[in-house]
A = this chain, B = another copy of it.
Amino acid sequence: MSPRPIPGFHAVVPAGGAGTRLWPLSRRAHPKFLLDLTGSGRTLLQGTWDRLAPLADGVTVVTGEAHAAAVREQLPELAGHALLTEPSGRDSMAAIGLAAALLRERHGDVVVGSFAADHVVRRPEAFAAAVREAVAAARAGYVVTIGVEADHPSTAFGYVESGAPLGVEGAPTALHVASFAEKPDAGTAAAYLGTGRYRWNAGMFVVRAEVLLEHLRRLQPPLHDGLLAIARAWDGPDRAEVLAREWPRLTRIAIDHAVAEPVAADGGVAVVPAELGWDDVGDWRSLATLLPAAADGVRTLGEGPALAADSAGAVLVPATGRLVAVLGLPGAVVVDTPDALLVTTTDHAQRLKEVVDRLPDALR
């Protein structure tokens, strides 16, 4: 059953990423969001589309020039004018701010919701309900985030600390946000969970375009002015000229630091708690939890032949058609691609950058 659309709600999907944490499957030129990492037959970008398109009046994708063709190919339903191509990466505030400013130009003061292109949500119906509440809270003037139920004391995510109920109609579960916290150490993460007030910050923000741009005008005036200039020129003949002039000068900053944290300190942020079955697929260990395990405890991504003995918990990615055989390596991670092979363990997955940093450019 498809969820009802939410009138006046526009989804924005920033589609970027360095591609290092799931190397060698993801690459700089072919990052995570372009991959089907769950064996569902849909890439993460397509999965994001599938979640958002039924809910929104429109979906806008913001991506780099290098990925525009791949995005168009994967999302044939995406309207031509709804793909915003960035000349270079200027971090999430520029990407989302540009989309918000342009949506306001085109549609007026709509509610904008920003959702990463490379996350997994296993409970789309819970996601739809949370977005619906978030839009209601956003209409009341809040910057709203969706706070993901933390099922373990992860040190890989930032946290949102909640306060009192928000008391906005249409958003019965929404709470005030007391603060945002950076990725904690293990002890702090455990303490967070103990309070019951902390949820994972999944980087989902829902806000009225006017509200976002007003915060931006106040907190980051040069960035605000640059984005507005670009948005006003976007659908006219001067886009290229204005982009060339303004884009390189845009402040590089994440939306968390630019808006969410300072506005939270002033009481302007709300959180809708949700159990989404969410995962940012941040590394090979994280991906492992998303793949079904065979009877021998081995998880395989891809159609290639694989054969394992005594290797429970292993993650095999046979992506070349060659046989991948693993013997006596519980928790092994074996990723077989045409030009590079990675062999590590789920325990070492977070250290992959050490390897990628040593790679020749052609293999990154």
Contact = CB atoms under 8 A, between A and B. Distances in A.
Interface of A: 24, 307, 309-310, 322-329, 332, 334, 336-345, 347-348, 351-352, 354-355, 358-359, 363
Given A24-B325, A322-B341, 5 more contacts: A307-B358, A323-B339, A325-B355, A328-B344, A341-B341
Contacts of A348: 310, 327-329
Contacts of A328: 344-345, 347-348, 351
Contacts of A310: 348, 351
A323 B347 CA distance: 22
A260 to B, nearest CB: 34
- Residue among A339, A344, A358, A363 having the largest count of chain B Cβ atoms under 10 Å: A344
Given A328-B348, A351-B328, A341 B323 contact: yes
A345 to B, nearest CB: 6
A363 B323 contact: yes
Contacts of A309: 351, 354-355, 358
Contacts of A347: 328
Give the number of times this chain occurs in the complex, counting copies: 2
B341 A336 contact: yes
9 cross-chain pairs, A with B, having the tightest CB-CB distances, nearest first: A328-B348, A327-B344, A323-B340, A326-B343, A324-B341, A325-B342, A325-B355, A327-B348, A327-B355
A310 B348 CA distance: 10
A338 B351 contact: no
Contacts of A339: 322-323
Nearest to A304: B341
B329 A359 contact: no
A324 B343 contact: yes
15 contacts: A24-B323, A307-B355, A309-B351, A310-B351, A323-B341, A323-B359, A323-B363, A324-B340, A324-B343, A325-B340, A326-B343, A327-B343, A328-B348, A328-B351, A334-B343
Nearest to A333: B327
Contacts of A358: 307, 309
Contacts of A338: 322
Most buried by B among A310, A347, A355: A355
Contacts of A307: 355, 358-359
A307 B143 CA distance: 46
A65 B252 CA distance: 69
A354 B335 CA distance: 22
A319 to B, nearest CB: 11
A325 B345 contact: no
Contacts of A340: 322-325
A108 to B, nearest CB: 51
A235 B332 CA distance: 57
Contacts of A326: 342-344
Contacts of A354: 309, 327
A348 B338 CA distance: 27
A296 to B, nearest CB: 12
Which of A309, A323, A341 has the most C-beta atoms of chain B within 10 angstroms of its own C-beta? A341
A115 B326 CA distance: 34
Nearest to A308: B355
Given A307-B358, A309-B354, A342 B322 contact: no
